[in-house]
């Protein structure tokens, strides 16, 4: 069975994601789609609006056949490490192709870009350093350097978020000598950061989350598949809550107000003395106010959110250093076709599959378990919170 791999967050699963899954299967001529999905905390350093189990089931009910969890120490990372972890998992699961959405929509510019970067690697690194000396953040410096050196040659605008992330997938597959063939489909209708719902009902996850928080679930019904709407409705009626950073602000504030700069410096990505800036703003009345106080041109909103996520989950620099490559495939769910694929190919996988956590996995999956327990602390209902704290061990994979 031919499997196509996709890398996703589904925050939440919407109509654009449905199109991506369908077109990925068609474009790569694959019999099933395997998704590597971020867990309860996401690449831009924020809690997922819904828990990973619900998001995985939404995907399985809308065209995905297997969902594996991207471990925390790859999920909450800048693009290159995020992509490397995801690509390694898809390769380990036997995918013959990887398909991503992009603003460009053609794979040739990505491949041309890869060859140009290999050819001009030293020049690129020097240009990025020069841009950072001008006060740019690393992502901004890299995007500007790519634009100056390669845009007119490769025809790929790497200042666009999906182009940049897609390029990292192509680059990671090449660096790791993966046999997966890369494909891309063009992102349509809304842009990645759009905050308003689109008239075509293909809206950004950003706009859907914003509308759900401000006006309620019913306002996004046409912008998500039926499974997403019904499952979210059931989740809320059963006592679940939509999660955002404000629910975790008291924990962050307490940590910053009671910790020394020296102890904070052990947290992953806490660099260049930013801990002093975070402590100075800790008396803020809300997460939003705090972020506006600490954000600068050099320290982007995303970079600060990732630091705070690591602070919240107590993820140390040594934790990440000890987990430089994926060591397991954590199963979140599968369809009947997914089960058939596993039965046929699992013996050939490059990594072991964990279908249900047990105590023997506690050390191997320690960071993921800690992240799930931390996510659970955002729920205000103590009974629901307790249920979520133990969920990694009590909830079996979703099987449709």
Which residues line the annotated binding site for ATP?
A: 7-20, 101, 162, 187
Contacts of 393-397 with CB under 8 Å at 24 or more apart are 393/357, 393/358, 395/53, 396/355, 396/356, 397/331, 397/332, 397/333, 397/334, 397/355, 397/356
- Which candidate, 242, 235, 223, 231, places its Cα nearest to that of 18? 223
User: CA–CA separation, 398 vs 335, rounded Å?
Assistant: 8
97-102 and 3-8 beta bridge pairing: parallel
Q: How far is CA 210 from the centre of its chain?
A: 18
Beta strands in the chain (DSSP E): 3-8, 32-38, 66-70, 97-102, 181-186, 329-334, 353-354, 398-399
Handedness of CA 48, 329, 110, 3 (dihedral sign): negative
Q: Which two tokens stand for residue 50?
A: 């819904």
Residue 166 sits at the vertex; the CA angle it makes with 176 and 10, to the nearest 5 degrees, is: 110
C-beta separation of 268 from 316 below 8 A: yes
Residues making up the binding site: 7-20, 101, 162, 187
């Amino acid at each position: 069975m031919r499997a196509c791999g996709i890398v996703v967050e589904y925050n939440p699963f919407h109509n654009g994601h449905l199109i991506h899954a369908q077109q990925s299967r068609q474009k790569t001529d694959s019999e099933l789609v395997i998704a590597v999905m971020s867990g309860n905390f996401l690449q831009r350093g924020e809690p997922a609006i819904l828990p990973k189990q619900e998001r995985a089931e939404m995907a399985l009910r809308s065209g995905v056949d297997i969902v594996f969890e991207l471990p925390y120490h790859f999920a909450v990372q800048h693009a290159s490490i995020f992509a490397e972890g995801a690509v390694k998992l898809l390769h380990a699961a036997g995918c013959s192709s990887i398909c991503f959405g992009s603003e460009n929509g053609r794979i040739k510019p990505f491949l041309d870009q890869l060859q140009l970067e290999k050819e001009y690697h030293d020049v690129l690194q020097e240009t990025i350093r020069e841009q950072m000396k001008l006060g740019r953040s690393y992502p901004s410096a890299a995007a500007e350097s790519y634009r100056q050196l390669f845009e007119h040659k490769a025809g790929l605008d790497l200042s666009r978020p999906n182009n940049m992330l897609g390029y990292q997938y192509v680059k990671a597959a090449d660096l790791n000598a993966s046999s997966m063939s890369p494909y891309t489909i063009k992102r349509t209708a809304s842009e990645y950061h759009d905050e308003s719902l689109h008239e075509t009902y293909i809206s950004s996850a950003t706009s859907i989350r914003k509308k759900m928080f401000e006006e309620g679930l019913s306002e996004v019904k046409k912008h998500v598949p039926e499974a997403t709407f019904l499952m979210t409705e059931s989740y809320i009626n059963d006592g679940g809550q939509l999660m955002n950073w404000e629910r975790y602000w008291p924990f962050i504030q307490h940590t910053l107000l009671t910790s020394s700069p020296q102890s904070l410096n052990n947290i992953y990505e806490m660099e260049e003395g930013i801990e002093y800036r975070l402590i100075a703003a800790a008396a803020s009345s809300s997460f939003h106010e705090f972020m506006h106080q600490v954000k600068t041109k050099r320290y982007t909103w995303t970079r600060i959110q990732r630091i705070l996520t690591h602070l919240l989950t107590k993820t140390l620099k040594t934790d990440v250093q000890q987990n430089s490559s994926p060591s397991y495939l954590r199963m979140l769910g599968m369809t009947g076709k997914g089960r058939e694929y596993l039965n046929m190919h699992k013996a050939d996988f490059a990594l072991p599959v964990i279908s249900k956590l047990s105590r023997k996995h506690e050390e191997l999956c320690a960071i993921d378990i800690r992240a799930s327990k931390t996510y659970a602390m955002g729920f205000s209902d103590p009974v629901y919170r307790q249920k979520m704290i133990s969920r990694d061990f009590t909830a079996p994979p979703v099987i449709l």
